[in-house]
Amino acid sequence: GEDVEQSLFLSVREGDSSVINCTYTDSSSTYLYWYKQEPGAGLQLLTYIFSNMDMKQDQRLTVLLNKKDKHLSLRIADTQTGDSAIYFCAERPLSGGYNKLIFGAGTRLAVHP
């Protein structure tokens, strides 16, 4: 079935690293995505990873993929107050014809001084 799970809330101190975790169920998913949503706004793509990769780094963002455990994580280095938002993990499964993304419920990241 299609189901993406994330922890609902994460609080970190400014300057620390944040790690947001996600598990997905469909091993056929070819790409996995991280989106960011700020209040009142749509979703902004942060990064994505192809399923044959273990890791992808993009400036302060590091994505780790454990395909065996169907576990995806997003690490944000040197977290800033501007990183406070909701982060969504999404998979792109074969069951959707690879045409749609299935999103988790989102992890709310709160960054405090």
Partner 1 sequence: DTGVSQNPRHKITKRGQNVTFRCDPISEHNRLYWYRQTLGQGPEFLTYFQNEAQLEKSRLLSDRFSAERPKGSFSTLEIQRTEQGDSAMYLCASSRPSGANVLTFGAGSRLTVL
- Residues near partner 1 (CB under 8 A) are 4, 31, 33, 35, 40-45, 48, 50, 88, 90, 92, 96-106
Q: Which residues contact 97 (CB under 8 A, 6 or more apart)?
A: none
Of the pair 40, 113, the CB lying nearest partner 1 is at: 40
Please state, in angstroms and as integers, the Cα–Cα distance from residue 89 to each residue in 3, 28, 83, following that order.
11, 16, 16
Q: Which is nearer to partner 1, 34 or 111 (CB)?
A: 34
Yes or no: say if 89 and 6 are a contact pair by the CB < 8 Å rule.
yes
Q: Which is nearer to partner 1, 60 or 96 (CB)?
A: 96
Least distance to partner 1, CB of residue 102, Å: 7
We find the least distance from the C-beta atom of residue 45 to partner 1, in angstroms, to be 6
